[in-house]
């Protein structure tokens, strides 16, 4: 049963939008750390990384849900309609393909190019949310998407993107596919907002990933599991449980389009992480891009749910 919502005054609307935007920005920061952990893992394929990330992420989610009577009831299969079960499978498929394509792209091309193409997701959400979710896209929505995408492009400076060898092109194509799949996560997640708690959405999505990838994910070189385990634990918690739960919780307060656009905060975080950890300098164009992305987030926060 859909949870009823009381009519909100303008001040309440603003607080709800602000809460949704802040939750999404925090989730984007957690996602921005993923390339650091992925590149620290040795001898694993992208499929194995995604499998163990999901498997490890399921453990704290199950513990939290089992300890809460409300969440436990919401997670019971009997309490879910056939439509909600179908959409939860869609979330899992989208999470699985998003991570697999994105991590493969990180391993085959630069992080900058992978991030840029990964975050074409708001464009696909803007195209499909009116059809699938009946969310109206105003001029403000399209302006926010355009600013966010242009800002991301300026940050990564992709002028020589296609001046690449075959391995690099594979990474670029994979990053583009990850953007399409990420749009699916936002769309499916928003569809269940109010019906299924955010932690339950994340848990079922992760379980679907584990089931899908088990035949391939378990095949890893001997002697590397314990060495990679700390990074896998971080990926399963900080880069899966926390950000997806925050994104899905944010969708209770703002639209799928607003969440996907606000998630463009991740490339901005990536610039800061690159500077702090690797001494990478931000160019003038990159600085302008960061300003454009932050402006798109502000516009998204002003958009009514």
Domain boundaries, the chain: 10-302
CA–CA gap between residue 66 and residue 204 (Å, rounded): 14
CA 132 remoteness from chain centre: 19
Contacts of 54 (CB under 8 A, 6+ apart): 95, 96, 99, 206, 207, 209, 210, 213, 236, 240
Predicted confidence at residue 305, as pLDDT, reads 47
Give residue-wise pLDDT tens across range 98-141. Answer: 988 988 888 887 776 777 778 778 778 877 888 777 777 677 77
**pLDDT above 90 coverage of the chain, percent:** 21
Size of the chain, expressed as the number of residues it contains:
305
Using left for φ > 0, alpha for ψ between -120 and 50, and beta otherwise, residue 197 falls in beta
Predicted confidence at residue 5, as pLDDT, reads 44
State the pTM of this model: 0.76
Quote the tokens at residue 77. Answer: 């299969």
Q: Is the pLDDT assigned to residue 54 strictly greater than 80?
A: yes
CA–CA gap between residue 84 and residue 160 (Å, rounded): 43
Give residue-wise pLDDT tens across range 247-283. Answer: 888 888 888 778 877 887 877 787 777 677 766 666 7
Predicted confidence at residue 303, as pLDDT, reads 56
């Amino acid at each position: 049963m859909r949870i009823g919502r009381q009519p909100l005054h303008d001040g309440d609307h603003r607080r709800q939008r602000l809460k949704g935007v802040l939750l999404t920005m925090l989730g984007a920061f957690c996602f921005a750390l993923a390339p650091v952990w992925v590149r620290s893992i040795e001898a694993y394929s992208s499929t194995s990384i995604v499998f163990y990330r999901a498997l490890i992420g399921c453990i704290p989610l199950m513990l939290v849900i089992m300890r809460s009577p409300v969440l436990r009831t919401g997670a019971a299969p009997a309490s879910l309609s056939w439509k909600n079960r179908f959409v939860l499978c869609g979330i899992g498929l989208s999470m699985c393909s998003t991570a697999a394509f994105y991590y493969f792209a990180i391993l085959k091309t630069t992080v900058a190019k992978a991030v840029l193409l990964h975050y074409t997701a708001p464009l696909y959400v803007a195209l499909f949310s009116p059809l699938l979710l009946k969310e109206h896209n105003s001029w403000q929505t399209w302006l926010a998407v355009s600013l966010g995408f242009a800002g991301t492009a300026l940050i990564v400076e992709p002028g020589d993107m296609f001046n690449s060898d075959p391995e690099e092109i594979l990474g670029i194509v994979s990053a583009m596919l990850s953007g399409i799949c990420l749009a699916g996560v936002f769309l499916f997640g928003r569809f269940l907002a109010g019906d299924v708690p955010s932690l339950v959405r994340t848990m079922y999505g992760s379980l679907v990933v584990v089931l899908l990838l088990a035949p391939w994910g378990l095949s890893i070189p001997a002697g590397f599991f314990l060495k990679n385990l700390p990074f896998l634990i971080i990926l399963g918690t900080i880069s899966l449980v926390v950000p997806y739960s925050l994104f899905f919780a944010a969708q209770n307060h703002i639209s799928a389009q607003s969440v996907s656009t606000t998630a463009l905060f991740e490339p901005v975080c990536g610039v800061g992480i690159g500077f702090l950890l690797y001494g990478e300098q931000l160019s003038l164009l990159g600085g302008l891009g960061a300003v454009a992305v932050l402006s798109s987030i502000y516009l998204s926060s002003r958009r009514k749910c």
